[in-house]
Every structure is written in structure tokens, then in C-alpha cells.
Amino acid sequence: MKIKVIVVCINSEDDPEFFWCNVQVTEDEYNLGLHYDRAQEQAEAAGYKVLVSFDQHEHAAKQVPDLFMFL
């Protein structure tokens, strides 16, 4: 299964930034939360310091359109 994950990070200039990616996992891996680990590894490889992650099914993801409208 392909899961969309958003990682809230700190970039190299100490500014908050979003990193997002698609992660391929099995259902068992998803249930264990391994999609977060894989997304965070990708963010770290891109030079970010990871703060928190959430996937497309979580409440925070449902707030993204509202956040866009707020800004």
C-alpha cells in the first residue's frame, strides 16, 4: 500500500518546514508505524531535523486544506 506522509521538520536554516513523501508499506508494516520511520529517514537524508509526522488518514492531514485557507 502507498501512504502519503507529511513530516514537520526544521531545515538547515533553523526554520520550520514541511517535507512530504509517498511511502510503500505492507499492511503489517503500516500497523507497526513503519511508514513514519521510512518517511522520517527520507526527510533526514534530505537534510532535515524531524519533529513529528502524520499520514493521510490522521486528523492533522484533514486540517491541511483549512490551514491553506487560513494563510
pLDDT at residue 65, as a whole number? 93
Mean pLDDT of all residues in 5-24: 98
How many residues would you count in the chain? 71
Residue 1 CB partners (closer than 8 Å, separation 6+) = 24, 25, 26, 27, 30
* 26-70 pLDDT, tens digit each: 999 999 999 999 999 999 999 999 999 999 999 999 999 999 899
Predicted local confidence at residue 1, as pLDDT: 96
The mean pLDDT of 10-33, rounded to a whole number, is 97
Considering the entire predicted model, what is its pTM? 0.91
The ranges assigned to domains in the chain are: 2-70
